[in-house]
Amino acid sequence: MTREEVKHVRNIAYVVVNAEGKLENVVRLVESIIDAEKAKFRQKGAVIYLFGRQMANTSQNSILANVNHVEKPEKFNSAEFKRWQQKMLFYLTTLNLAKFFNKKAPILNKNETDRTTVAAVDTWKREDFLCKNYILNGLDDTLYNVYSPIETSKEVWKCLDKKYKTADASMKKFVVGRFLDFKMPDSKTVMNQVQQLQLILHELHAEKMTLSESFQVAAVIEKLPPSWKYFKNYLKQ
């Protein structure tokens, strides 16, 4: 540090020293410190000196929206995973916890004694624990028991994503199969069967498989009962 920087030591919240060959780990530690300070919603900027450069935290007004105004997602019970996932991701973002899904945890060496490094790692573990339990508390009791033994929030999120995105893909195939196999027998009224077909089409839309209006009309005509053969031919002209 320069002489001018030494004068301001009393006002420095953290001091991070860049050990030779460990730049990547230092950067992770600094990011963890900054994230920890943001989570506290401090009014005053915390000043960090790194490699002779001064960085100031933003004020409370510029960090995040007040989480009190964010609705907590309903509990997930294996249905509508995409909707629940999007709501939970937004909720965790307002809490400044969504970072754990794509950032690596800072590494603590076996014989590490530096207080700043240890504090940064402890902060990371504590916030990751909070993130994990916010996700778990968004699951119903049955799913909670399944996923609670998983150690980190990132692993919980990945397991849910893998499990239920696959299930969503299977649901799409199921709905498509129902649409393709749907037939109108003469034993039932046409209007009731058309309404059933419309419900299947709505399910396709809900799965983001949009069909053009002309295709939907052609599909309804093609699936009319056998006794409507001549009328079908007339409509196709």
Q: Are residues 124 and 17 in the same domain?
A: yes
In a domain, 149, yes or no: yes
Examine the pLDDT at 5 and tell me if it is beyond 60: no
Confidence of residue 198 (pLDDT cuts 50, 70, 90): confident
**Side-chain half-sphere of 176: how many Cα atoms within 13 Å?**
11
Is residue 74 domain-shared with residue 7, that is, in the same domain? yes
User: Could you tell me if 53 and 117 lie in one domain?
Assistant: yes
Confirm whether 105 is domain-assigned: yes
Number of domains in the chain: 2
Do 105 and 212 fall within a single domain? no
Q: Are residues 202 and 99 in the same domain?
A: no
* pLDDT, tens digit (0-9, with 9 covering 90-100), for 114-165: 788 788 888 889 999 999 999 999 999 999 999 999 999 999 999 998 888 7
Mean pLDDT of the chain: 75
Half-sphere exposure of 18 (CA within 13 A, CB side): 13
Give the pLDDT score at 168.
64
Q: Are residues 25 and 142 in the same domain?
A: yes
- Is 150 in the same domain as 187? no
pTM of the model: 0.48
Most confident of 7-16, 127-136, 201-210: 127-136
Summarised one tens digit per residue, pLDDT across range 173-185 is 777 888 888 888 8
162 lies in some domain: no
Domain boundary residue, one of 137, 155, 173: 155
pLDDT in tens, 68-118: 556 788 899 888 888 898 899 999 999 889 988 888 877 777 777 778 878
* Residue-wise burial string across 88-118, b where 16 or more C-beta atoms lie within 10 A, e elsewhere: beebbeeebbbbbeeeeebebeeeeeeeebe
pLDDT for 182: 87
Is 71 within a domain?
Answer: yes
12-33 confidence digits (pLDDT tens): 555 555 556 566 666 666 666 6
Give the structural domain span for 221.
182-236
Query: In the β-sheet with 53-56, what is the strand arrangement from edge to edge?
Result: 12-15, 47-50, 53-56
